[in-house]
Chain A
Amino acid sequence: MGAVPHWHASPPAAPAPTPTLPHAAREGGSGLTSLVSITGLSKRYGPVTAVDAVDLEIARGEFLALLGPSGSGKTSLLRLLAGFETPDAGRIVLDGQDVARTPPYDRPVNMVFQAYALFPHLSVAKNVAFGLEMEKRPRAEIESRVAEALKLVELEALAGRRPDQLSGGQRQRVAIARAVVKRPKLLLLDEPLSALDRRLRERTRAELKDLQARLGLTFVMVTHDQDEAMAVASRIAVLNHGRIAQMGPPAEVFDRPADRFVAEFLGDCNLLEAEVLAPDRVRLRGEAIELLVRPMDRPAGAAVTLALRPGKILLGPDGRNMLNASVESIEYLGDLSRLTVRVGAATRLVLTQVNRAGPLPAVGDGLFLTLPPETLVALPA
């Protein structure tokens, strides 16, 4: 994308006629304090509790992904942040102001809609100008800010086009320009990549991350795609049944899931039933196999489920937790191979291995595996 415009450095404009619309998100001053502070937020639709007493802090300048399956409440949470829904209970404090019941047009929050919702009867430039015209900004200011926003997303040349004359990727960029031109404190993105084809999606998510870093804006993105969430977000909140199941940086959520749901939702995962022997030792259920695990806070004798990512299993003897295994099946996936192996009497493990030069194991082969103890995470059974 093009040169970085002086996004936050532009001189303060003429006083807005609507004083309820705060001006640009200002950097500095408050440092890393949270921008949004959500407490006890609940939303019910009839008998369904879409958002269930959620507490959430969103830091200034972070890229937060709300990740979850459909019906997990992630979209409802986003719509509550945007103001399209009114909560049944709870507070949304944005920059010191409770906005939970503020209508969308009075919130310093803008949204990139799932199918972009670009106005089909307006040109690209008019779409981007819409929000500033609603603020009744002077014409000259509108023109320069629209030009700046279009430059940011590299669409200056297409300013006169109609949305139906644009490609999917271009539409997405118009939607982003239309939202950021308002200089919101918080930018919401509702599945911003789902309308794009797969190849474009991978390129666009890198652009999205780059854009967020350059603008220094706080982004909250809803997605059901864990790869997307991990690729762009600085933090992921995994939602399930209207609650936040776990929140943290992508690597933390992926490597140390808090429960079975998170473990399985973020990618393939071996789940093994086990019994606690000591805070760092377990025995696999039904097996004479003892394993060292990541230290946990569980009494001896408790039942736990061990989570182990297929990619963390090492082939060959390498330190502690060595096991004998026999290969049951192999899937060749190009860069990777996925092996299903049996250990002990009846325990199956799936592991992935990077395909390097040299032969692959064959079905029936015996292997040595190493399960690094810090990658074995005990979950509540």
Chain B
Amino acid sequence: MSAGSRLALLLPAFWLLLFVGAPLLIVLEISFSEVISAIPPYAPVLRWGEEGLRIALNPENYALLIGDDLYIHSLLSSIRIAATSTFLALLVGLPIAHGIARAAPRHRPWLLLLVILPFWTSFLIRVYAWIGILKTEGILNTVLLTAGLIREPFVILTTEWAVHLGIVYAYLPFMVLPLAVALERIDPAFREAAADLGARGWSIFFRVTLPLARTGIAAGCLLVFIPAVGEFVIPDLLGGPGTPMIGKAMWTEFFGNRDWPVASALAIVMLVLAAGGILALDRVQRRSGEGLS
């Protein structure tokens, strides 16, 4: 290997180390430290003392996560909400992606642009706007009341429904884009072959199109599920105290309790869980002949 090509490999590795590895190590360090009243509010794990390097590992933060069932409860609640939201996003996203994949090639870039257009507005503002729609005297209730469809305004805001709605809305593009790409890549000959063998519309879709789009489905679900598990803004703005989520717990530890070590431990646990999930999924797909490429 020439010096030039070695450098070409080293440079991105260095970049990754600097901007992903180093911050991660800092979080890892904080997760093993002790909380103190200071700025920053933790005692460093590595300290130079008179007798050289001193390592003060404090596993209590992790013990607390297991000991206090608030965290496990929040985590399970997050996973449940993220899972149902991912499923709903898949249901909403599939027809959209299908429509884009089947549209005339010259229309496709415009349709994709429409999908990502909301990103031009701040995520926070878009979620905030849902409050105006969902609140008791909001647009939705006003419309339904005026139309005579309901007698009394119903409460959506501060419920789990609102959180689901927010997550599906906010992460839909991450579902639609990989799905549209996967559906578009399917050779039309497969659908023709299925029709030739006697399959009609829905049979073709469930027996041929969906299985062939499975990598896109997996990618879309991961892209929605993983950020949804750690989501903080949506449950904070749209959910109520009845929807504990791990992102909210983390935020409370960090900003409310100023307990950086516990917040960091929580972050590390979430990271390990997410990475483990991705690796497991990738292994399953590799075994069935298709990697997560």
Same complex for A and B? Answer yes
* A-to-B contact residues, CB < 8 Å: 18, 21, 82-84, 103-105, 109-111, 113-115, 117-121, 130-131, 134-135, 162, 164, 178-179, 182
Q: Verify A162–B196 contact, CB threshold 8 A.
A: no
User: Which single member of A84, A105, A114, A121 contacts B198 (CB below 8 Å)?
Assistant: A105
Q: Verify A134–B193 contact, CB threshold 8 A.
A: no
Give the residues from 18 to 32 in chain B that come closer than 8 angstroms, CB to CB, to chain A. none
Q: Verify B197–A182 contact, CB threshold 8 A.
A: yes
Q: List 8 A-B contacts (CB under 8 A).
A: A82-B196, A105-B195, A105-B197, A115-B189, A117-B187, A117-B190, A121-B212, A134-B199
Q: Verify B196–A119 contact, CB threshold 8 A.
A: no
User: Which single member of B187, B197, B207, B289 contacts A178 (CB below 8 Å)?
Assistant: B197
User: Which single member of A111, A114, A115, A118 contacts B196 (CB below 8 Å)?
Assistant: A111
- A sample of 4 more A-B contacts (CB under 8 A), given A83-B196, A105-B197, A110-B196, is A105-B196, A117-B190, A120-B212, A134-B198
Give the residues from 181 to 197 in chain B that come closer than 8 angstroms, CB to CB, to chain A. 187, 189-190, 192-197
Q: Verify A135–B196 contact, CB threshold 8 A.
A: no
Which residues in B have their C-beta under 8 angstroms from that of A179?
Answer: 196-197
Q: Which of B196, B198, B203, B208 has the most chain A CB within a 10 Å cutoff?
A: B196
Which residues in A have their C-beta under 8 angstroms from that of B102?
Answer: none
Q: Verify A162–B289 contact, CB threshold 8 A.
A: yes
Give complex CA distance A162, B289 in Å.
Answer: 10
Which residues in A have their C-beta under 8 angstroms from that of B118?
Answer: none
Give complex CA distance A162, B207 in Å.
Answer: 16
Q: Verify A131–B198 contact, CB threshold 8 A.
A: yes
Q: In chain A, what residue has the closest Cβ to B199?
A: A134
Q: In chain B, what residue has the closest Cβ to A162?
A: B289
State the main secondary structure of chain A at its contact with B: loop
Expressed in whole angstroms, the minimum distance between the Cβ of A82 and any Cβ of chain B is 6
Give complex CA distance A164, B290 in Å.
Answer: 11
Which residues in A have their C-beta under 8 angstroms from that of B189?
Answer: 113-115, 117
State the main secondary structure of chain B at its contact with A: helix
Give complex CA distance A115, B194 in Å.
Answer: 14
Which residues in B have their C-beta under 8 angstroms from that of A119?
Answer: 190, 193-194, 208, 211-212
Give complex CA distance A251, B79 in Å.
Answer: 72
Give complex CA distance A45, B189 in Å.
Answer: 19
| Interface size class of chain B, counting residues whose CB lies under 8 Å from the partner chain | 10 to 19
Expressed in whole angstroms, the minimum distance between the Cβ of A313 and any Cβ of chain B is 45
Which residues in B have their C-beta under 8 angstroms from that of A113?
Answer: 189, 192-193
Which residues in A have their C-beta under 8 angstroms from that of B190?
Answer: 117, 119
Which residues in B have their C-beta under 8 angstroms from that of A105?
Answer: 195-200
Which residues in B have their C-beta under 8 angstroms from that of A84?
Answer: 192, 195-196
Q: Verify A164–B198 contact, CB threshold 8 A.
A: no
Give the residues from 168 to 220 in chain B that come closer than 8 angstroms, CB to CB, to chain A. 187, 189-190, 192-200, 203, 207-208, 211-212, 214
User: Which single member of A18, A104, A135 contacts B192 (CB below 8 Å)?
Assistant: A104
Given A104-B192, A113-B189, A117-B187: A164 in contact with B197 (beta carbons within 8 A): no
Nearest 3 A/B pairs, CB to CB: A134-B198, A131-B197, A117-B193
Q: Verify B192–A117 contact, CB threshold 8 A.
A: yes
Give the residues from 118 to 165 in chain B that come closer than 8 angstroms, CB to CB, to chain A. none
Given A119-B208, A120-B212, A121-B211: A111 in contact with B193 (beta carbons within 8 A): yes
Q: In chain B, what residue has the closest Cβ to A178?
A: B197
Which residues in B have their C-beta under 8 angstroms from that of A130?
Answer: 194, 197, 199, 207
Expressed in whole angstroms, the minimum distance between the Cβ of B289 and any Cβ of chain A is 7
Give complex CA distance A373, B189 in Å.
Answer: 49
Give complex CA distance A83, B191 in Å.
Answer: 13
Residue interface bits B24-43, CB-to-A below 8 A is 1, else 0: 00000000000000000000
User: Which single member of B196, B203, B212 contacts A104 (CB below 8 Å)?
Assistant: B196
Expressed in whole angstroms, the minimum distance between the Cβ of A242 and any Cβ of chain B is 21
Give complex CA distance A111, B198 in Å.
Answer: 12
Q: Verify B203–A134 contact, CB threshold 8 A.
A: yes
Give complex CA distance A168, B200 in Å.
Answer: 29
Which residues in B have their C-beta under 8 angstroms from that of A110?
Answer: 196-197
Expressed in whole angstroms, the minimum distance between the Cβ of B260 and any Cβ of chain A is 48
Expressed in whole angstroms, the minimum distance between the Cβ of B193 and any Cβ of chain A is 4
Give complex CA distance A234, B197 in Å.
Answer: 26
Which residues in A have their C-beta under 8 angstroms from that of B197?
Answer: 105, 110, 130-131, 134, 178-179, 182
Give complex CA distance A348, B176 in Å.
Answer: 66
Q: In chain A, what residue has the closest Cβ to B191?
A: A117
Give complex CA distance A164, B198 in Å.
Answer: 24
Give complex CA distance A115, B189 in Å.
Answer: 9
Which residues in B have their C-beta under 8 angstroms from that of A118?
Answer: 193
